[in-house]
Amino acid sequence: EGVLFSQVRQPGRLMVLLNPQSGKGQALSLYTGHVQRMLAEAGVPHTLVITERQNHARELVREADLSQWDALVIMSGDGLLFEVVNGLMEREDWETAIQTPLGILPGGSGNALAASIHHYSGSQPVLSEELLLSCGFLLCKGLVSRMDLVSVTTASSQRLFSFLSLAWGFVADVDIESEKYRCVGAARFTMGTLVRLASMRVYQGRLAYLPAEEPAPPEENTFHNSCNSNNALKARTGSAPRPAAATPRGPPDSLLVPLEQPVPGDWTVVEEQEFMLVLAMYQSHLGEGMMAAPGSCLQDGLIHLLYVRAGISRPALLRLFLAMEKGAHVASGCPHLVYARARALRLEPLSPKGVITVDGESVEYGPVQAQVHSGLARLICG
Ligand code: ADP
Ligand code: MG
């Protein structure tokens, strides 16, 4: 969409937010060992901010004077970017705040967005420090593109913005259970998968989605329409006092009806109610070496929905995960795997206890629905 650093008078003022606890706890040494020098050589001035606790970054970007920064760069896993995206969307000026270019440098154990932008750049797959060098290079190039965000609403009407994934069942359980293996880095997902395979179970629930029509609606229009209707909404509510608690704002979810009502007639209601996993992806990678949605790109306005029906054998499920490294699972002909392209979805778990993750972070368990907002955010992706 544009080159970041050449368009500004005082070039390249980056805020680098770093989570020292992410991954193996090496983000800071990776920064001093690689990133600091790369940015200096590229002549990109930046300020390092080390987070002190969970939600520190979220609060910081919620209050920050964004006119001082050309980009917010996250050096951590996907969890810290999730904080930053939601912090921006909680601002009164979310509409301009979310236009702040974002950057990602893999410093965590779940580096899915970093793996995705490396993949989009057309390079051969790499892992760990090589992935960091690649993303550092893409950051220095400073090319900015639009990125889809998905608005997720939970049963308590909490609204979240997601850039990566929504998961329930096997994948969500592995994501959360494997946090205790963070010390092994990205291999935590492989370990978690093997452990979960041994105790794999079935997840009961209902799934429905709005299939994507071809061709996709013009993305710019989708974005501006949503913003305009929100402006109108703001104008009508006038200067009503804002609630003290931060609630994400953002464009209206025009495709969704309240969770209490049945889904609209043009939605597909999935017949099965027993699943091994449900996974909605909007970027290509679920982690380093896990290309869960090979057909996805940064701004396609699509939710790539994958689900695996109950009844799959352990070896077949393991084969699916192994095939995922190259993105070969979708075309593998596995009869239990279904892949669909959607614009919105609703998931209603019937099992009383469980885990739902959004961008790898655990969220309120219960019915959720989601809608894609094409190109709502901007990302530096070389
Ligand atoms: P990883 O990929 O290793 O899980 P994340 O970026 O996802 O790394 O971060 C993991 C969690 O740590 C996230 O929930 C994030 O909000 C939280 N977090 C951020 N900064 C800190 C900090 N300074 N101390 C502890 N936790 C933090
Ligand atoms: Mg994480």
- CA 110 to centroid of ligand 1, rounded, Å: 10
Please tell me the distance from the alpha carbon of residue 44 to that of residue 69, in angstroms, as a whole number: 12
Query: Does pLDDT of 25 surpass 50?
Result: yes
Q: Which of 341, 336, 359 is nearest to 114 (CA)?
A: 359
350's CB contacts (< 8 A; 6+ apart) are 204, 205, 206, 273
What percentage of the chain has pLDDT greater than the value 90? 84
What pLDDT band is residue 220 in, cutting at 50, 70 and 90? very low
What is the pLDDT at residue 364?
A: 97
The bound ligand whose nearest atom lies closest to the alpha carbon of 186 is 1
- CA 353 to centroid of ligand 1, rounded, Å: 24
Length reported for the chain: 382
Q: Which of 189, 254, 203, 186 is nearest to 356 (CA)?
A: 203
Q: Which atom of ligand 1 sits closest to the CA of residue 55?
A: 16
What is the pLDDT at residue 382?
A: 84
Q: What is the pLDDT of residues 225-240, one digit of tens each?
A: 333 333 333 333 333 4
Residue nearest to atom 13 of ligand 1 (CA): 79
The bound ligand whose nearest atom lies closest to the alpha carbon of 19 is 1
What percentage of the chain has pLDDT greater than the value 70? 88
**What integer is the mean pLDDT of 312-333?**
96
Query: Is the CB–ligand 1 distance for residue 287 below 6 Å?
Result: no
What is the pLDDT at residue 140?
A: 95
**What integer is the mean pLDDT of 268-289?**
97
* pTM as predicted: 0.90
Number of H helices, E strands in the chain: 11, 16
Please tell me the distance from the alpha carbon of residue 125 to that of residue 145, in angstroms, as a whole number: 21
Please tell me the distance from the alpha carbon of residue 134 to that of residue 147, in angstroms, as a whole number: 19
Catalytic entry in 65, 70, 78, 266: 78
Query: Is the CB–ligand 1 distance for residue 86 below 6 Å?
Result: no
**ipTM strictly over 0.95?**
yes
Query: Does pLDDT of 213 surpass 90?
Result: no
Residue nearest to atom 26 of ligand 1 (CA): 54
Please tell me the distance from the alpha carbon of residue 218 to that of residue 5, in angstroms, as a whole number: 28
93 is annotated as an active-site residue: no
Query: Is the CB–ligand 1 distance for residue 19 below 6 Å?
Result: yes
State which residues have CB under 5 angstroms from ligand 2, the bound ion: 77, 79, 110, 360
- CA 66 to centroid of ligand 1, rounded, Å: 23
135 close to 118: Cβ distance less than 8 angstroms: yes
Q: What is the pLDDT of residues 99-142, one digit of tens each?
A: 999 999 999 999 999 999 999 999 999 999 999 999 999 999 99
Query: Is the CB–ligand 1 distance for residue 79 below 6 Å?
Result: yes
**What integer is the mean pLDDT of 268-283?**
98
148's CB contacts (< 8 A; 6+ apart) are 163, 282, 298, 299, 300, 301, 302, 372, 373, 374, 375, 376, 377
Q: Dihedral of CA 150/135/171/357: which sign? A: negative
- CA 103 to centroid of ligand 2, rounded, Å: 16
The bound ligand whose nearest atom lies closest to the alpha carbon of 23 is 1
Q: Dihedral of CA 4/91/226/356: which sign? A: positive
What pLDDT band is residue 166 in, cutting at 50, 70 and 90? very high
- CA 139 to centroid of ligand 2, rounded, Å: 21
| SS3 (DSSP) at 106 | strand
86's CB contacts (< 8 A; 6+ apart) are 58, 160, 161, 248
